Structure 1
Amino acid sequence: MTVESASTWPMPPQDGHTLDDLLTLPNLPPHTELIDGSLVFASAQREFHSVVIDRLMAGLRRSMPPELKAVRQMTVVLDKRNGPEPDVSVVRAEAVINRSQTCFTAADVQLAVEVVSPDSEARDRHRKPHLYAEVGIPHFWLVEMGGTDEHPVVHVFERSEVTKTYALTGIHHDRLKLSVPFDIDIDLSDVDNL
């Protein structure tokens, strides 16, 4: 392969990329995120990832109040150097403007959910929750594959107004039954039968 035939990727500016770059650079791969000024490209996802997102979306949509909406894999604007894309977000319904919308503000998000993938493990477990808590997103769920039957395990976190960090409020294996941010009851034991 010659240099001339190689794909050209955007060269990062000296101070890193900004949200404007994420939203306007042409030909970025789908589901590109902006984390700390770096463009992060998504790799192929495991079937587990897709099935769990579908199960959570169905369960959330069944139980959420009309003033909220569940959306999947949309950019959340945190600041000019951070635009992550949670796997699932619960946003204020009035924030959903039209079908061509590509992002939400952090103030619109009530819940961010990350389903851990091998390529994004450190970001999903550490960096993203820290960023979400910093900007005031009240609820965060981290979903991992557990056990020999590869079932979803949901770690539920709530943001403390005192510490401005997330505190673990529960770990759910077979059933996700919660009263905050609203009444939720999702069967996790049979994700293959949506």
Structure 2
Amino acid sequence: MAILELPEKSEWTAEVLETLSPEFRYEVREGNLVVMAAAMRPWHADAQYRIVRVLREQGRHAYIEQGVEIGPGEIRTCDVGVFREPPAGDAAYRPATDFALLVEIVSNSSHREDRGIKPRLYASAGIPEYWRVEEAPDGTAMVHRYLLTHAVDGSPVYVETEVSSLDELEAGQGQQKL
């Protein structure tokens, strides 16, 4: 069992998270540090790898497990992040404005976050695209694609534009860059 020693901090920032043990994953939710295990199910890891491969074949700058600085007190980790430009430097946490697309792969423990909380946060940060990957009963990875728009009241929201299987994306169907 690994023991994590944390510094006494009144504010968790990306700079502070960079100093913590790489054995864990970290997010800051409403100012509170959340420590997560790095382990995941093989289905989840496979979906991540496949999504990154599809996006890179489109010429996009896709990377697994990216830290996203959304605003004060909100730093999240996406399953796949696509940068607007090739990322420079070695920082694990980047401003939301650096990203063109964020992908979440829904796990049993992440339904609430991936379906509701993270899309609202990502939309409010102005990230143009959001993809949510869900496991169908037969094990197929289904990709729900969303584009950022604005509601009647002007608030940023995502609208679903397409649902396809990851198999279809890999075969080149629905692979057009949005």
**TM-score (normalised: structure 2):** 0.82
Distance of 1:23 and 1:11 partners within structure 2: 12
* Shift of residue 50, structure 1, vs aligned partner: 0.4
Structure 1 contact 76–83 (Cα < 8 Å) conserved: yes
Distance of 2:144 and 2:11 partners within structure 1: 32
Distance of 2:8 and 2:112 partners within structure 1: 22
Structure 1 contact 19–79 (Cα < 8 Å) conserved: no
1:175 maps to a residue whose letter is: E
Structure 1 contact 18–37 (Cα < 8 Å) conserved: no
Which one has the largest radius of gyration? 1
* Shift of residue 138, structure 1, vs aligned partner: 0.7
Runs of 4+ in 1 over 4 A off after TM superposition: 6-9
Is it true that 1:104 corresponds to 2:94 in the alignment?
Answer: yes
Distance of 2:126 and 2:55 partners within structure 1: 21
1:112 maps to a residue whose letter is: L
Query: Match for 1:33 among 27, 32, 37?
Result: 27
Structure 2 contact 28–76 (Cα < 8 Å) conserved: yes
SS in 2 for 1:111: strand
1:41 maps to a residue whose letter is: V
SS in 2 for 1:118: coil
Q: Deviations over 1:126-175 (max 9, x none)?
A: 1111110001001000101102x211011111110443111111211241
* Shift of residue 41, structure 1, vs aligned partner: 2.5
Structure 2 contact 145–161 (Cα < 8 Å) conserved: yes
1:91 maps to a residue whose letter is: F
After TM superposition, the structure 1 = structure 2 runs for residues 129-148 of structure 1, keeping only pairs within 5 Å, are 129-147=119-137
1:179 maps to a residue whose letter is: Q
1:57 maps to a residue whose letter is: V
* Shift of residue 51, structure 1, vs aligned partner: 0.3
* Shift of residue 118, structure 1, vs aligned partner: 1.5
Taking a change above 3 Å as real, the CA distance of residues 8 and 22 of structure 1, as seen in their structure-2 partners, is closer
Query: Match for 2:52 among 49, 57, 64?
Result: 57
Q: Structure 1: which 5+ runs fail to align?
A: 1-5, 182-194
Q: Structure 2: which 5+ runs fail to align?
A: none
* Shift of residue 107, structure 1, vs aligned partner: 0.9
Structure 2 contact 58–177 (Cα < 8 Å) conserved: no
Give the structure 1 partner of residue 176 of structure 2: 179
**TM-score (normalised: structure 1):** 0.76
Give the structure 2 partner of residue 150 of structure 1: 139
More strand by share: 2
